[in-house]
Structure 1
């Protein structure tokens, strides 16, 4: 009987490890990415999921200005998979993942002023990102197309 309990426990542990956490399904975002648009350079790096968490950092450099740095996490939360942005002197802002297809992630927080959505998707070998929301009744957005950084 004891051996059967141990075997059952090992099978249950193996099944739990085999079922990927929701955050693990976003592993396609992992890596170091870069976009050069004119003189503006944006770098974004995502650490591969581990323990239901991904960590990211984005740095944007514009000539004559101090670099802007944003720290982000994607975590399994009671509300669902949550992208949380931490930007210069602002409180952390959470966006919850909406249901969607493979290779795309749409995070939403309709209570936030701008953006209200943070979107990532694979564009072939590239990583495409977009922030968008409604401002004065009109949809506004900003897009990035990142290539893998060398």
Structure 2
């Protein structure tokens, strides 16, 4: 396995769960009904498209989701857009243990949006927004022959989906999460 694929895979797996991290180098199959694997394999990430962080306010709030692969639980918090930036954090739990974390930043750059991710102890990386529609955003970066893609899509006011993919030719690895909006006090604790 190439260094680029191994490095990109490690970054995404740290975000998803320790179970996935333990499975580095093992192909993760897409769940039944996911059609993403029928796309032609990209050779580079898509060109950056116009958009503004203000249009991603639907992501703001506190979310909890479950991995379609290993049942790990992800808690994610996104602050509302302010001054051209959205800040986020996440924590992955598996069997009552914290197995991963991530710091995230979405920010306006020129007439597009970039995504900066710092998954756990791995190095940070930046992705370009390659697709932008009402309630849908896709970020990607290509390193060597591997494209890493992150997609968020709004299902309704209280549910969003998130998908992580590593794409190398016909090889597609990744995980999907279904997030439900939760009360932020659930994540924050504090006096009742």
- Checking the alignment, whether the CA contact within 8 Å between 2:64 and 2:73 is kept in structure 1 is yes
TM-score (structure 1 length as normaliser): 0.76
Counterpart CA distance in 1 for 2:144 and 2:96 is 30
Residue in structure 1 matched with residue 122 of structure 2 by the alignment? 90
Q: How many residues align?
A: 130
Larger Rg: 1
Structure 1 SS opposite 2:102? strand
The reply to whether residue 53 of structure 1 matches residue 85 of structure 2 is yes
Structure 1 SS opposite 2:131? coil
Deviates more, 1:84-93 or 1:23-32: 84-93
Residues 1:36 and 1:90: Cα distance change in structure 2 (over 3 Å): closer
Question: Please, which runs of 5 or more residues in structure 2 have no aligned partner?
Answer: 1-50, 184-192
C-alpha offsets along residues 104-146 of structure 1, whole Å, 9 cap, x if unaligned?
Answer: 0000101278761100000123011001121464122210010
Select the residue among 64, 68, 74 that pairs with 1:34: 64
C-alpha offsets along residues 78-102 of structure 1, whole Å, 9 cap, x if unaligned?
Answer: 4831111001222211011123321
Counterpart CA distance in 2 for 1:40 and 1:97 is 27
- Checking the alignment, whether the CA contact within 8 Å between 1:115 and 1:131 is kept in structure 2 is no
Question: Please, which runs of 5 or more residues in structure 1 have no aligned partner?
Answer: 1-20
- Checking the alignment, whether the CA contact within 8 Å between 2:66 and 2:178 is kept in structure 1 is no
Counterpart CA distance in 2 for 1:147 and 1:130 is 15
Which structure would you say has the larger RCO, counting Cα contacts within 8 Å and 6 or more residues apart? 2
TM-score (structure 2 length as normaliser): 0.60
